[in-house]
Structure 1
Amino acid sequence: MGSRPGADRQAIDDVLAEVTRAWDAADADAYGRCFTADASYVTFVGTAYQGRADITESRSALFRAFTKGTRMASETLRVTFLCPHAAVVVGRGDTFKRRRPAGSAPQTGSGR
């Protein structure tokens, strides 16, 4: 982040959009790349992961089981820049599964 708040906010929005795209595609590697090597990640149930590799590994397992077939919906509520290289992002979100109309075939591919 630099001295251009508008550009910095856009960069944050771009990363958050990539998080959503990676989730929707169930792409754990792409999801993990959205985080720094030393990132801390705490889930909504309080499970904590440390570092990109840990985040990627855990997401890979979840995409194969518990969150399989889900999509992400999120909203950024507030971005507070602490200094030129750090910001706190407050948001909310949820995951959901799309329902197929009765009698339709399951989707194939990335589900987009």
Structure 2
Amino acid sequence: MPHADVRFEICVNGQPVGTIGIEAFGVLTAIVSRVRRSPDKIADAHRQRPGFDEAAFLREVCELSMTGLDSVLGEHRDWGTRPLAAGDVVTIRVLAAGPCDPPRTALANTPV
């Protein structure tokens, strides 16, 4: 199990979702987001993409995402995304150094 200097313990409705952390220098995020797109704002080029599903694209989404960037290793880390619904309670507790869950993915940072 990895060890991190600072960790976030994340719970949804009182149930643990995970403990995420970055070992040294970097960024750690737990984000609640809501997206609802306007059909009038979809670009024609987007609609013409192969496999574009307008109904799926316009579906309202509310979710929790847990990600980070390890600046020492140059890795983007992802602990996953989970859907949220009205009434859900998300709790983020900041913890001192200790063990954390391994990320689901760790991808090399590619310069833009």
TM-score, reference length from structure 2: 0.28
Q: Where is the helix percentage greater, Structure 1 or Structure 2?
A: 1
Q: Where is the strand percentage greater, Structure 1 or Structure 2?
A: 2
- The structure number with the bigger radius of gyration is 2
Which protein has greater RCO, CA pairs closer than 8 Å, 6+ apart? Answer: 2
